[in-house]
Amino acid sequence: MLRILLVFSLLISTCFFSQNKLNLIPYPQNLKINKGASVIPEKILVREAKNDSLQFEVKIFNTFLKTDATHFLVSNHGVPKYSFVELEKVNSSEIKDDGYFLEINDKKILIKYSSKKGKFYAFQTLIQLINQFSDKKEIPNLKINDSPKFAWRGMHLDVCRHFFTVEEVKQYIDYLAIYKLNTFHWHLTDDQGWRIEIKKYPKLTQIGSKRKESMIGAYVDDTYDGKPYGPYFYTQEQIKEVVKYAQDRHITVVPEIEMPGHALAALSAYPQLACTKGPFEVATKWGVFDDVFCPKDETFTFLENVLDEVIALFPSQYIHIGGDECPKTRWKECAHCQELIKKHNLKDEHGLQSYFIQRIEKYVNLKGRKIIGWDEILEGGLAPNAAVMSWTGIKGGIEAAKTNHFAVMTPGAYCYFDHYQGDPQTEPNAFGGFTPLDKVYSYNPIPAELNAEQSKFILGVQANLWTEYILDFKQVQYMIFPRLFALSEVGWGTSNPEKYKEFENRVVQHFKILDKMNINYAKSIYNISGKVIPNNTGVSYELSTSQNPNGIKYTIDGSEPKSNSATYQNAIPVSKAMTIKSAYFENGELKSAISSQNFTTSKTTGKKIILEHQPSENYSFGGAFTLVDAIIGNVKQLGKTWLGFQGKDVVATIDLGEKTNFSEVYFNTLDNKGSWIHLAKSATVSISNDGKNFKTIKETGKEDILSTKGKIILKVGNQNAQFIKIKIENAGIIPAGNPGADSKAWLFVDEIGAQ
């Protein structure tokens, strides 16, 4: 037996005796706390079988001990009376490849495993236990049988919009390892930067790794910082270093090389690969651009050569080839592309995209690898062996699984960590959307539409971090924590939305670990959360906090809440225009950000509303009620207060409850063509007294809508009716010359009112 002596002072609290749950994330599949506790001596022996000598998994454990102020390593003398940590390798028939058995009793800690992966996860659990019980020399006797539900438990990092150093990427990988995630999706190429050295094509990094400036401010602000960015890229030696670092921690690095869209950085270096002559420059703006790879032999030769070098660097089974947001504008205008469509009897440009992806797939398959791409690779027909990463919702994953293709579920509504995680007014600038901790935790990667056999094709779950508005690594930390905790437990398969509060309590305990590691994390769960609910006369504003609710103080006159302000007890009625501000106080001291919410009431406030078409899952927070909740959406923040519809009209019917007088109907909308958001084409207002037979009382065209600045007011004369129906027509297919041309336009709407 190989003996490695680890000596440390384990200070373990006795509080576990009264706890039903240990503060473990992800929580184990099976955990039993037995009677009694084990007194831990200062000198600890880790013993491992001869045929599986000291491995990296144990070294990681030792590193943890050395970096903790209360733990230290000594030489192999002064062996204690018994081995405290004993490792036993067993057959995979007894314990799954990525599973482990952990037992703590009066004599030792026993870890059983069938692979190094399982051993590593066992030590991560043990480290968390040590962190939890750091007050007294006792540890609960327990048994854990554990293994993950999903094979793919991933986090993505975009290094193209903003770059992060090798050391920062390693830290990111550490976070995944601690919480038992096993896949790092490295987004290495995009319009805004090419970040991987390709020796055959040096211009990719000489030209494509830098841009003249960067877009700043909220997504609707078309302003720039005027500062050159880059050159920033990873050398092939650095790539190898990161891949090895991840492998040691049982994490697979999946590289992403975008194609056929998001290619401006590559085209700026090699313009001959486009459908037009260019010249091109690395994008300084966020969004989607018309210039993409042209599907000609020269392009495929280039991409195959790039993939040769990528495959040599990354041993992952899957190579991510992007495939998302590829406008077809240039292909429609390109004689070569049109000839290719005819030659191969393709239906249209979507068929051409499928041809492109399938050709790349054949090459990657010849190299012994598989491709995975965003769900737009389904357009025109999915390549035979391709896997799908379902981001626009769950539809792509369902379609893939039903046709026996593997899928990774990463829907924006639950898994986009560039969205706001708290009240947008108290959070740093983010891309949009609203994805708080509890929403991530509520996600089930297995769609209800799949049967048991189809569900086997769901590989797992992944969260994505796009970095348009993430300028440094501290902000990376802020955006992933604590949401990574929820993702970890969802991927492990032990999340239970009905017990969210219990999970939240564990999260708060893990904040102590993050503090110890000097990690910058969001404290949004400490802030006051506000929810608008209907009442008999309109709406009320319900406040909550993860802390003692008696600590909530609020005002309704717009003044800043103080420790002697009104204490929140019941939902606050909103019957007129007002501003409610709230905050959490503890012992007279402000402990949270101050939340502020403006209300603008109308005759539709709080009334029953039905939508004919539902909003996109990514922008559906609050559902139809969002349109009558008396909150006007902030034009710079898509999170929480807007409903977004891609390619769909808004058709809303509002029941005022009784015949009501009104002379105008209004709604709020957005205009930001860079993000594919277009003003409505038209709007129509109809009225009814029975909810069945409607009479049109107002129609307005696009010119009238264009003359406004977001708030569309429709003068309808003096009316008296119980039901109001408003149809707000989507702009439809985005016309040529606009970002996202040939794609479905987005229509964002908020607050439909009547006066």
Q: What does the alpha-carbon distance between residue 104 and residue 53 come to, in Å, rounded to a whole number?
A: 22
Question: Would you place residue 102 in the very low, low, confident or very high pLDDT band (cuts 50, 70, 90)?
Answer: very high
The percent of residues in the chain predicted with pLDDT above 70, rounded, is 90
User: For this structure, is 250 an active site residue?
Assistant: no
Average pLDDT, the chain: 89
The phi, psi pair for 460, rounded to 5°, reads 160, -145
- The rounded percent of the chain whose pLDDT value lies above 90 is 72
Q: What is the mean pLDDT of residues 395-403?
A: 95
Confidence tier at 433 by pLDDT (50, 70, 90): confident
- Tell me the pLDDT tens digit for each residue of 181-192: 999 999 999 999
190 is catalytic: yes
The catalytic position among 262, 320, 350, 678 is 262
Residues 23-56 have pLDDT tens digits of: 999 999 999 999 888 765 565 667 665 555 556 7
As a whole number of angstroms, the distance between CA 542 and CA 568 comes to 9
Residue 571 pLDDT class (50, 70, 90 cuts): very high
By the 10 Å C-beta count (0-12 exposed, 13-18 middle, 19+ buried), 591 is classed as middle
Q: Which residue in 57, 290, 325, 418 is the catalytic one?
A: 325
**pLDDT at residue number 18:** 39
Beta strands 432-434 and 572-574: pairing type? Answer: unpaired
pLDDT per position as a tens digit, 595-640: 999 999 999 999 999 999 999 988 888 899 999 999 998 776 777 7
pLDDT band at 12 (very low <50, low <70, confident <90, very high): very low
Q: What is the pLDDT of residues 245-272, one digit of tens each?
A: 999 999 999 999 999 999 999 999 999 9
Specify the pLDDT at position 45.
66
Q: What is the pLDDT of residue 532?
A: 95
Residue 78 has pLDDT above 50, yes or no: no
* Tens-digit pLDDT profile for residues 743-753: 899 999 999 99
Cα–Cα distance, 357 to 377 (Å, whole number): 7
- Look up residue 575 and give its two tokens: 């019957």
Q: What separation in angstroms does the CA of 689 have from each of 63, 505, 752?
A: 73, 50, 19
CA distance 52 to 601: 70
732 and 744 in contact (C-beta within 8 Å)?
yes
- Residue-wise pLDDT for 691-733, tens only, equals 999 999 999 876 677 666 678 899 999 999 999 999 999 999 9
Q: Is the pLDDT of residue 674 over 50?
A: yes
Residue 325: active-site member: yes
